[in-house]
A and B are shown apart, each in its own frame.
Chain A
Amino acid sequence: MTDAENSLAEIISKVLLLDRNELTDDLKRGDYESWDSMAHLILISEIENEFGIFFEDDEVVDIWTVADIRELLSKKISS
């Protein structure tokens, strides 16, 4: 796991109140109780702060799964 992957996993697991090994790519907002709108807000902001990036409103709304976050983040970091 790279440093970036590691810090992302740390953020997601803390906000979603999961152990690191409980974190799966298909974990979905709406299905998982702890991933409510407040958690989503904090999740997005923590990722922005950690990686020095910015999510557009459309992107924030379109993030539904852990996989979505990874995908979008790697796109933003590499661009």
Chain B
Amino acid sequence: MSGTNDQVDEILKSVRESPTYLSLWSAYKKIQRLSPKPPKSASLRASIAIIGSSTLEPLAACLDVKIRLEGFHNHTFIGGFNTYRQEAMDKTSELYNAKPDIIILAVDAWTLLDQNFLSSYPRMSSKSRSAAIKELANSLIAIVEVLAKNSAALILVNNFIVPTFSPMGVADNKQKISFRQFFRRANQLLEEKLEAISNVFVMDLDSVASDFGKSRTMNWNTYYRGSVPFGEEFTLVVADEYMRYFRALKGLTKKCIVLDLDNTLWGGIIGEDGIEGIKLGPASPGIEYVEFQRLLLSFYNRGIILAVNSKNNFDDAIKVLREHPHQILKEEHFAALRINWQNKAANIAELAKEINIGLDSIVFIDDNPAEREQIRLTYPEVMVVDLPKNPRLYRTTLENLDVFDALSFTKEDMARGEMYVGKHKRNELEQRSTSIEDFLRTLEIKVRVKLTGDFDTPRVVQLIGKTNQFNLTTRRYTDAEIKSLRDAEESAIYSMAVQDKFGDEGVVGVAIIRKEDVSWTVDSFLMSCRVIGRSIETAFLAKIAADAKTAGTKRVIGEYIPTKKNAPAADFYEHHGFAKQKEMGDGASWMLDLAHGTLEVPDWIDLIEE
């Protein structure tokens, strides 16, 4: 069947060259006709569903092809015209049979409102306006709650587009509940009532429409001819917005920004202009760079890693980071620095190694097109930003990248930057130590392993969603699936938190166990790459093996499923005395006989059991 896959690749290649609405639609129909077989590897399969109040094929088609462009085989379920209620209520419906990763609920406010709503609004009492707001929001929330109950998918609910028109004209907001406020309040209700359901997201269609230009969102011809509301261009924009959630769910988002210094973080060249001469300060020229840095600091504060890659004399450049009164990003905000005369491609590879992240998690920002080209050619997996020549556009360029999305923020995210300070200190200590054991002993590592509770579940969900390197099986689970695995008798989720004398790393490891009488199977085992190299994984596995033995089972079974990125975990089971059971595709399953083999916690680790 490779013929079919080649044809699909050919179709996708032509879409890449001309990503128009027409090309995407055509590609979708052609791929459906070929119906390619799903790949063996579950990590490359995706399934989405879109239901709602209009004809959704065009939007679904664009989204389907965009998912395929990310390298996934995708199944798309498209709900019928205005049949979303039945589809949501019927547990046996095709919607749920397709086991979607994501369900999109796209309902137009006007299909939920009374047909006389617009004409009656000017004469409606504020009391009935208020009641109608609740009715509008609640009818949608009711559907969302059914979806969340029947499916473990990530659920995306479009909010309502607030009209720009009002029958009351400029005096609209002189009313108790203005026409536009009606829709704003309904949106607010959606957000308030759905905020607590962790796998439900309100997709801010109103903002997306505003950004695009509300007067251009609709194609009234296709709307009246066939209930296709959105114009061609806007359909692509909406599909892109859904893709942000998809990438976040599948762990495809960026984690680190690598920055140049001269003419990127400040104007001018420090080596020539000197610390007093560079443009960085409260007025233009200079304020552009300050505001760009403030945006970068906001990313840092939510857990994006920052690093420097600059051709400079180290002493000149570091002086700005340490001493310039208007410099926003200080030395401690950067997880790693490469300020030297080496070529930048070599530097970026070193940075990735030092920070311990994949090159494909990096965004590179540099004003010099030649440097950008070099990185692009050497490491195509690095995202290289086409920075505009005009520094006044740096900030908006970064704001519009939309590649840093996460589905939740944990205390580990918020403190990520500080953790790298601890890492620096650890590195210094390592260089001074006479042996690796010596070094590890002086770290005073404490490892806490416990069954996941409510409090650490969001972090567990996050680690399962984004850990790529030290991940034995790379199985991704949704929030709802994880909660059901956590709560079920026949499975358990362990989480591991690590601290040492340089700081608290928080929860950095997760293992999902499927329990049977004679054996425990390690469905998932993963660890943040930040803590690799301290044998912490050995302590974690030892604790699981000990629990398995206490539970009366005879063996622990583990699997390794290779991906492009998880080579660091390849010899994990072999290294810990597991015997190979059988080859499975490219991977293998491994077994530890608990009657003969045991696992020792390394003596430099203090394992705290809870």
Contact = CB atoms under 8 A, between A and B. Distances in A.
A66 interface: no
A17 B26 contact: yes
B26 A38 contact: no
A46 B22 contact: yes
B226 interface: yes
A17 B29 contact: yes
Given A15-B22, A15-B25, A48-B221, A41 B228 contact: yes
Interface residues of B, number: 17
B531 to A, nearest CB: 51
A45 B232 CA distance: 9
Range class of the A interface residue count: 10 to 19
A58 to B, nearest CB: 13
A51 interface: no
Contacts of B222: 41, 45
Given A14-B22, A14-B23, A45 B221 contact: yes
Interface string B20-38: 0011011001100100000
Nearest to B233: A49
A42 B225 contact: no
Interface in B226-249: 226, 228, 232
B194 to A, nearest CB: 32
Contacts of B226: 37-38, 41
A54 B221 contact: yes
A48 B232 CA distance: 12
A49 to B, nearest CB: 7
Contacts of A41: 222, 225-226, 228
Interface string A1-41: 00000000001001101000000000000000010011101
Given A37-B226, A41-B226, A42-B58, A15 B221 contact: no
B219 A45 contact: yes
Given A17-B30, A38-B226, A42-B22, 8 more contacts: A14-B22, A15-B26, A34-B29, A37-B226, A38-B57, A41-B225, A42-B25, A45-B219
26 contacts: A14-B22, A14-B23, A14-B25, A15-B25, A15-B26, A17-B26, A17-B29, A17-B33, A37-B226, A38-B55, A38-B57, A38-B226, A39-B29, A41-B222, A41-B225, A41-B228, A42-B22, A42-B25, A42-B58, A44-B221, A45-B219, A45-B221, A45-B225, A45-B232, A48-B221, A54-B221
Interface of A: 11, 14-15, 17, 34, 37-39, 41-42, 44-46, 48-49, 54, 57, 60
